[in-house]
Structure 1
């Protein structure tokens, strides 16, 4: 299976200046799901690793979550939202078919006259796919501050009676704020990306009418659109593909696995994250998980892990990181990054 490796970025290198986040307040426990689904708290903990997840408010959509994450990133960096040169939104739950969610969230964030567009790379892989696109726009020299927003309202697109997805997902958004690093320093290395189209039926959104036991029509927040997942198929693909992908990505950067200080991996399943580290022969304390607290947040999960690591001093300036994500498509990608401090940006 072929994997695309982006060409080297000559001259200008992007770094992550800040990470902004937004996690909804409403917490849904496993015990609450036990009341409506044929499942148990013990089963969810043992098989998925989720204890609680967050649901967005009924009137909040991807653009609402994304705008708050973008504003948080700007506030943390001490910059004006109006200084952002480009906005990229990675999502599979757009507010509308048209216009792009990037444009809608920019209006809500008070940004005008800035270009923006969406990237749909299969939801969860967006944390690497959309980041790679943003890094290349910085490398082009045409943009000096790019906001890459990852957001999805996962809980609005599944059938609430479908336990295969209802126990896993939560809603959230995150924003990478990218800028050029000082000449001669490293930031984001080119990503290694891949797709396996034969696996597209393992995770997808279907459009079909659904009915309850009384014959009444069921709807998601997106009408007749419902998320479908084959958990075992995704697990087998990930464990058979992602460790090798990470090994190659680290080698591309001229490093060994032991040189990596922190592994930020997509939070599809807590046990899966640990198994990937075990397969790589790396200690589990080189990563952390948040799926137990907020569920699988799709494309936002990797930057949310990075935010948690920063807030707990697990990442410091100069640390080498691996960012790895995978999901529908089947799409998958990994990237090596050097964590930069404020003094590293030009």
Structure 2
């Protein structure tokens, strides 16, 4: 199975570091030098995960030359569902017009979802149960923020992306995947359920009530730079490959310098990755497919390229998948063969 198209959607509202200086005890130069973020997108008050996800799904379908009604299964990878139940995928199906599709959510801990949810979708295509699967990664992370808590507030942004999966020619598409979790570091980055109060004593709420994102920057960096390169090397070694064989590394955009640290640990030049954390911030599970989308738009990803997708974050969890990028001719081979047989 391969990625037929990558859709994307970013909210219109952009919040710069200078804007954050007005509400947080922080500085633009400190954020740039330590996080690498310059601006981020923030969902409107009435804009939720399903709204972002539906737009990303529609965009992916438009790029593939199909309609949302042609999609068989919608998997929404999110940690910010519109409601606790039913799954947000149901609203995405309705809002995008994916009439007749089945849908469910996957919560693999926000940022790791860029690989974890993709792996779930790939297995459904491989099983033959569904032919066309839309894996929609969408989060409104800024709605989990306490806007007086500098750590998370300078990092996160909102966004959505959709990988449209279909059967593809042998030797192309998604290959081996490695998934790992370490629950001992559960609180390195998480959404804590706790009561908070403002300085005047009044209860303080996020858009999700008493749920607030929090993290330990040093712990996340230590985990990501210390362990993600080893996971990628293991993935490549299983196929008799090394980092030098890879054309593009699509890495989770946790922090610009974490991405640089992973590339340095792999001994690979920075021109073999794409970063968007400067303009979008950390967009959680959407960040890896958004990197793919940017690489495609810039002409930096071509059929036959070998690509490593790696996502990591809360759990703490990490995942990596090896992809031989498909061209348009790699899709629909089964249909063409069936048509040839019928023609005889």
Shorter chain as normaliser: what TM range? over 0.9
Corresponding residue number in structure 2 for 1:42:
29
1:75 and 2:56 matched: no
Asked if structure 2 preserves the Cα contact closer than 8 Å seen for 1:189 and 1:253, the reply is no
Q: Deviations over 1:184-240 (max 9, x none)?
A: 332101210000000001111111111111112111111111011111111111111
1:200 and 2:155 matched: no
1:107 and 2:94 matched: yes
1:237 and 2:223 matched: yes
Corresponding residue number in structure 1 for 2:118:
131
Alignment of 1:28-39 (within 5 A): 28-39=15-26
* Structure 2 unmatched ranges of 5 or more: 333-344
User: How many angstroms does 1:113 deviate by?
Assistant: 2.5
TM-score (norm 2): 0.95
Query: 2: CA distance between counterparts of 1:112 and 1:98?
Result: 20
Q: Deviations over 1:75-132 (max 9, x none)?
A: 0100011111111000000000000000111111112332111000010000100001
1:258 and 2:244 matched: yes
Q: Secondary structure at the match of 2:79?
A: coil
Asked if structure 2 preserves the Cα contact closer than 8 Å seen for 1:197 and 1:329, the reply is yes
Paired residue for 2:9, among 9, 22, 25? 22
Asked if structure 2 preserves the Cα contact closer than 8 Å seen for 1:92 and 1:120, the reply is yes
Give the superposed CA RMSD.
0.8
Q: Secondary structure at the match of 2:108?
A: coil
Query: 2: CA distance between counterparts of 1:45 and 1:302?
Result: 21
TM-score (norm 1): 0.95
Paired residue for 1:141, among 128, 148, 173? 128
Asked if structure 1 preserves the Cα contact closer than 8 Å seen for 2:172 and 2:330, the reply is no
Corresponding residue number in structure 2 for 1:55:
42
Alignment of 1:162-173 (within 5 A): 162-173=149-160
Corresponding residue number in structure 1 for 2:294:
308
Corresponding residue number in structure 1 for 2:253:
267
Corresponding residue number in structure 2 for 1:323:
309
Deviating above 3 A after TM superposition, structure 1's stretches of 4 or more consecutive aligned residues are none
Q: Secondary structure at the match of 2:146?
A: coil
Q: Secondary structure at the match of 1:178?
A: strand
Query: 2: CA distance between counterparts of 1:125 and 1:187?
Result: 20
Corresponding residue number in structure 2 for 1:340:
326
Query: 2: CA distance between counterparts of 1:178 and 1:253?
Result: 23
* Structure 1 unmatched ranges of 5 or more: 1-13
Query: 2: CA distance between counterparts of 1:195 and 1:84?
Result: 31
Query: 2: CA distance between counterparts of 1:36 and 1:127?
Result: 31
